[in-house]
Amino acid sequence: MGSWRIATIRGIPIKIHWSFFILPLFYGLSAGSTAGAIRGVVFILLLFACVVLHELGHSIAAQYYGIPVKEILLLPLGGLAQITRMPRRPLHEFVIAIAGPAVNIAIVLMLGLVVPSLLDVQRLSQQALSLAGVDLLRDLTITNLYLAGFNLLPAFPMDGGRVLRATLNAFLPFATATSIASWVGRLFAIGFAALGLYTGNWVLTLIGLFIFFGAGAENSMVQQQARGEAQVAADVTRPATPLHPLDLVGAIESQVRPSAQPLYPVIDGPRLEGMVSRADVLDAITLFGPGTPVQTIAARAHYVPPNMSLDQVHQIMTSRHLPGVLVIDGHKLLGVVDIRDVEEAVNRG
């Protein structure tokens, strides 16, 4: 939304958000002269290329570890390589995080080789110097140094913060490492915001706010996932009253309506015929009439083993829009897991 694809590199769409154009416009308009305006715009475009290269650094490292990259989005405050899933191996996260700033360091080194040779030209003519754009390259070198340095600060979820988490994760569990990194990140964020307010640098204040909320959001997501991985379906299984395929919805209304059971296994003797949700039974009474047998509205049974992690159970339920799943151990029906119980279990803490 509101962004254009400008290129596709290694199968990754590179998109630019409309608000990115505020930057060159701002620089163009704030320059005193036409030459100054052109220089400002050229500088922003070169900087933009460096940001794309930085994000490509992260993206190519991610692809190397088999993690697909959805897109690279360019915003005025920087780029965003959208990696489809987080690496769980500390080394992988470390390499992916450091690959971005490493690109900026490489650019600095390359410019460092080019600029001195251009500086020799400077002795020939001051005019030739500005034409060659040496000062532009010098500014670009400084900016790339700054990009590498700033991104490497351990302000999770910035690159340096991810490097910190990966390093901690080599010794500590993922959730603990994330918790520590996110607290360090939030301390940096408060520092950035305060420094921004003190110096009147509202961009720094804004970055501080983004980091503060970004660190909090990613940490709670990781803690939730950890709780989901630590618990299994059996922990939240409730006993389930079964229905018979020939039960009429009108006849079971008085049993189903006041019940909190979200899902009913449909069982004929020893056979599991399917499952039906409480909502489907109540809807069928008004839609098809009370004489509708349960078997006409029963759906294919979705079931999980009792030792499946709640994280996986939750993924199954949300991806298939299920209010619950049956829990079956071998051939034995243990009960039903309600999505609300799963969400409560992973959010608690």
Nearer to Zn ion, 55 or 338 (CB): 55
Nearer to Zn ion, 159 or 247 (CB): 159
Give the alpha-carbon dihedral of 230, 235, 240, 245, to 10 degrees: 30
Strands, E assignment, the chain: 3-9, 12-17, 69-75, 78-83, 263-268, 271-277, 303-304, 324-329, 332-338
Q: Which amino acid is at 172?
A: L
Nearer to Zn ion, 101 or 262 (CB): 101
Smallest gap from residue 212 Cβ to Zn ion (A):
18
DSSP annotation string for 75-125: ETTEEEEEESS---SHHHHHHHHHHHHHHHHHHHHHHHHHHHHHHHHHHH-
Please give the Cα distance from 155 to 165 (Å, whole number).
Answer: 10
Instruction: Break the chain down into helix, strand, coil percent, rounded to 5.
Output: 60, 15, 20
Pairing of strands 12-17, 69-75: parallel
Nearer to Zn ion, 20 or 303 (CB): 20
Smallest gap from residue 349 Cβ to Zn ion (A):
30
Smallest gap from residue 97 Cβ to Zn ion (A):
7
- What is the number of the residue whose Cβ is closest to Zn ion? 100
CA 286 remoteness from chain centre: 42
3-class SS string, 21-63:
HHHHHHHHHHCCCHHHHHHHHHHHHHHHHHHHHHHHHHHHHHH
Smallest gap from residue 40 Cβ to Zn ion (A):
24
Smallest gap from residue 274 Cβ to Zn ion (A):
49
> Which among 11, 32, 34, 6 has a CA at the least distance from the CA of 21?
6
Residues that bind Zn ion (CB under 5 A): 100, 159
Nearer to Zn ion, 152 or 243 (CB): 152
Sheet holding 303-304, edge to edge: 303-304, 324-329, 332-338
Smallest gap from residue 103 Cβ to Zn ion (A):
9
Nearer to Zn ion, 159 or 273 (CB): 159
- As separate numbers, helices (DSSP H) first and strands (DSSP E) second, the chain gives 13, 9
> Which among 210, 232, 180 has a CA at the least distance from the CA of 345?
232
Nearer to Zn ion, 100 or 228 (CB): 100
Nearer to Zn ion, 100 or 265 (CB): 100
Smallest gap from residue 186 Cβ to Zn ion (A):
19
Smallest gap from residue 145 Cβ to Zn ion (A):
15
Smallest gap from residue 54 Cβ to Zn ion (A):
6
Nearer to Zn ion, 159 or 280 (CB): 159
Which residues 6+ apart lie within 8 Å of 268 measured at CB? 244, 245
DSSP category for residue 133:
T
